[in-house]
A and B are shown apart, each in its own frame.
Chain A
Amino acid sequence: MRAACIAFLLWASLASADEVISGYEFLTPETQALQDDDFANPGMLWVEEGGSLFAQQCADCHTQGSNGNLEGVAARYPAFDQDAQTLLNIEGRINRCREIHLQAEPLAYESKALLALSAYVANLSKGHAIDVDIDGAAQRYFTEGRDYFFRRKGQFNLACSQCHDDHWGRMLRGDRISQGHPNAFPGYRLEWQAMGSLHRRFQDCDAGIRAQPLALGSRRYRSLELYLAWRARGLIIEVPGVRR
């Protein structure tokens, strides 16, 4: 039994270590073209808006300043923050800077300003490979996120893994199921007709299996984000991605 179990785990890890494929590859050529062209990509509106907010609020410290520019930084997030003593994603990191460096109120999750700033900062890492730290203090978040990914939930009793590990490539009605990677987000979804965060995408997938969605920015969604980033390690950031 034990041996069979270990053999299965080994097989499972080999199977999932297979090939990491971006959601981009599962899109129609039309949607791919929309993402590829900066002038047509509707997400670029948020990036540009974020750029001007950044110039007003952040550039004093972050362009050429002692804290360097933020190129490539988003590829290392979510990350455990010693001062905050918690796992921060890019949205949380931006709000942290607002609080401690700008003495300003945190921006609400999914507000236009936070989406714009996080899209701008993540866009500075476009083309960088995802590479997060899951050791040390980050480890328990990683474990929590992994558990969430493999746990069956909702009235449909499904786990994220059952669609995005076990059945990617298959058709769910008109949608081809991808591997469920985070590299396009914040991204523009045609269904939303707007830019949205990765956590909003999580809420949609949870609601799809009739599970009670968790709060945007909640600890468990941040942990899930860390697990997904690790699972997608090496994948190139595409923000702003365009998705169906």
Chain B
Amino acid sequence: MRLLVATLLIAGCAVEYLVVGDGMPAPLTKDAVLAESGRDVFVDREQGHCVLCHALENLDVPFQGNVGPDLSDVGLRLTPAQIRLRIVDASVVNPRTVMPPYYRTTDLHQVAESHVGETVLSARQIEALVVFLSLQRKKA
């Protein structure tokens, strides 16, 4: 198996994350998170706002986007490690991705002054998404 170590610079301090294959097995935080808060991160404009590009069948939210794939069965298709890496930095898996990197602060250009040096989401928010999305197991 291909093993590579990606170094992400977060808030000024270098943290090493282990990327194994196309996944990231270790949680970003040991804090307990709830699937319920993952749902909010997925939907809220002020948080992840993933509905901009993704739809979930069991989500009662109008106008879900379709730039990215429907995630209703993502828990069947991907492991938590794979889901985590795609949220942290989908470009590791697909360099041409249109999905934003939610936990990366390096190699970005012309970032709005109000967001320089910040990740889009916090470690907790991402872990909540991983739990929430792992539970999406609707069979087609």
The residues of B that contact A206 with a CB separation of less than 8 Å are 110
The residues of A that contact B34 with a CB separation of less than 8 Å are none
Q: Is the CB of A212 within 8 A of B110?
A: yes
In the assembly, what is the distance between CA of A86 and CA of B98, in Å?
Answer: 34
B131 to chain A, nearest CB (A): 24
The residues of B that contact A201 with a CB separation of less than 8 Å are none
The number of chain A residues with a CB under 8 A from chain B is: 25
In the assembly, what is the distance between CA of A152 and CA of B109, in Å?
Answer: 7
Q: Is the CB of B113 within 8 A of A212?
A: yes
In the assembly, what is the distance between CA of A157 and CA of B107, in Å?
Answer: 9
Contact with B along A147-179 (1 / 0, CB 8 A): 000011111111000110011001111100100
The number of chain B residues with a CB under 8 A from chain A is: 24
Q: Is the CB of B108 within 8 A of A157?
A: yes
- Residue B83 is within 8 A (CB to CB) of chain A in the complex: no
- Residue B21 is within 8 A (CB to CB) of chain A in the complex: no
Contact with A along B80-112 (1 / 0, CB 8 A): 000000000001000000101100100011111
In the assembly, what is the distance between CA of A211 and CA of B53, in Å?
Answer: 19
In the assembly, what is the distance between CA of A158 and CA of B111, in Å?
Answer: 11
Q: Is the CB of B110 within 8 A of A173?
A: no
In the assembly, what is the distance between CA of A177 and CA of B65, in Å?
Answer: 10
Contact with A along B106-135 (1 / 0, CB 8 A): 001111110100101000000000000000
- Residue A55 is within 8 A (CB to CB) of chain B in the complex: no
Q: Is the CB of B112 within 8 A of A207?
A: yes
Q: Is the CB of B65 within 8 A of A157?
A: no
Chain A 189-244 interface residues, beta-carbon cutoff 8 Å to B: 206-207, 209-213
Q: Which 6 A-B pairs have the closest CB atoms?
A: A174-B63, A156-B100, A153-B110, A210-B112, A153-B109, A155-B115
Which residues of A are in contact with B by a Cβ distance under 8 Å? Answer: 151-158, 162-163, 166-167, 170-174, 177, 206-207, 209-213
Q: Could you list some 22 contacts between A and B, CB below 8 A?
A: A151-B109, A153-B108, A153-B110, A153-B111, A155-B108, A157-B91, A157-B108, A158-B98, A170-B67, A171-B64, A171-B67, A172-B53, A172-B65, A174-B62, A177-B67, A206-B110, A207-B112, A210-B112, A211-B110, A212-B110, A212-B112, A213-B112
